[in-house]
Amino acid sequence: MIISPLWLPATLLAGGVQAWRTALQRRISQTLSLNAAGLVRYLYGVPFTLLLLGGYRLAFPGPFPAIGPLFLLFCIGGGLAQIVATNLLILAFGHRNFVVGTAYSKTEAVQGAILSFVLMGETLSPLAWAGIGCGVMGVMLLSTGGKRMGPLDILRALGQPAALTGIASGFFFALTAIGIRRATQQVDGGDPVLAALTVLAVTVALQTVMQGGWLLWREPREMRRVFASWRVSGQVGLLSALGSACWFTGFATAPVALVRIVGQIEIAFTMAFGHFYLKERISRSEVMGLMLVVAGVMLALAGSL
């Protein structure tokens, strides 16, 4: 496939914006239920996604592209997978700190590479696979806190709730990426940014209906608290819309696995937010893990050139 150079700045920007959004969402999850904290990113993201799509259409007018028959199916599948992934990520925060919870979810790079190969036939270069391995070692170092662990210790650590929910979150985020990529391929016209924004607007609206309907059915009292938290929730919605627009653009212009590998740079932003915004301490082992993750990103970039 032809890879557009647009994917790299879009992915790097997505990592920074998502880390900021996740930090705010973790903060709001302390006052809202699990599903309510997940809903705010979609409910308050709808107007911003429509503004992004409308603004882009004003800047680049033209006929609206044709939509394929499986468009809605892929939007629903990708949107539902993202809802599940986000809820699992918020659960992971409750078991360990913000950085570690995000680190476990970043195993999505490996899971995404395998799933995109099996489901879509996308392949990577040996350097990119080396970058995946390096990133995994960095994630493991982050998640274990630098402790010396044997094989049995690692297996026991992987059986802990934070690991299980974080890894499961990564799996569903990988499914989200594949669903979104397939949805953008259903939008004809040759403009990947327009395809990404179209998929984003439709998917976020569907997610609002899906998770909002669940909340009204199961936790109707939480809906009032969702609207009462509009000051912080509005920020979450804005950052979610911007971050997702960048992610979706990356998925529309490059292989899923490559975007997710480079997207691991989000961990660097996450550590910065965890330290400066949430006042969490950063250990020496976490710095070493971060260096391995960055090295993995550089190898993946070298393999893509």
* Per-residue pLDDT, 102: 60
Give the number of domains in the chain: 1
d(CA 187, CA 183): 7
In a domain, 245, yes or no: yes
Q: Could you give phi then psi for residue 218, rounded to 5 degrees?
A: -95, -35
Residue 191: count other Cβ atoms within 10 Å of its Cβ. Answer: 16
* Per-residue pLDDT, 147: 59
In a domain, 47, yes or no: yes
* Per-residue pLDDT, 151: 58
Residue 149: count other Cβ atoms within 10 Å of its Cβ. Answer: 14
* Per-residue pLDDT, 96: 53
In a domain, 87, yes or no: yes
* Per-residue pLDDT, 115: 84
Structural domain boundaries enclosing 144: 7-304
Would you list the DSSP string of 275-295? HHTS-----HHHHHHHHHHHH
The residue assigned the tokens 């006052």 is 31
d(CA 194, CA 208): 21
Query: Which letter, b or e, does each residue of 271-300 get, where b requires 16 or more Cβ atoms within 10 Å of its Cβ?
Result: bbbbeeeeeeeeeeebeebbebbbbbbebb
Closest by CA position to 165, among listed 269, 214, 94, 78? 94
d(CA 91, CA 224): 22
3-state secondary structure of 187: strand
* Per-residue pLDDT, 81: 96
In a domain, 2, yes or no: no
In a domain, 18, yes or no: yes
Q: Which amino acid, one-letter code, is at 207?
A: Q
3-state secondary structure of 168: helix
In a domain, 136, yes or no: yes
* Per-residue pLDDT, 94: 64
Closest by CA position to 212, among listed 200, 228, 226, 202? 226
In a domain, 1, yes or no: no
Q: What is the widest separation between alpha-carbon atoms in the chain?
A: 60
- pLDDT by 10s per residue, the chain, length 305: 556 678 889 998 998 888 788 777 777 877 888 889 889 989 999 999 999 999 999 999 988 889 999 999 999 999 999 999 988 877 776 655 555 556 667 677 778 878 888 888 777 788 888 888 887 777 767 666 555 555 565 556 566 776 788 888 889 989 999 999 999 999 987 899 999 999 999 999 999 999 999 999 999 999 999 999 998 899 999 999 999 999 999 999 888 888 888 887 777 777 776 667 666 677 777 778 778 888 888 887 777 66
In a domain, 271, yes or no: yes
d(CA 76, CA 279): 37
Closest by CA position to 264, among listed 110, 42, 83, 98? 110
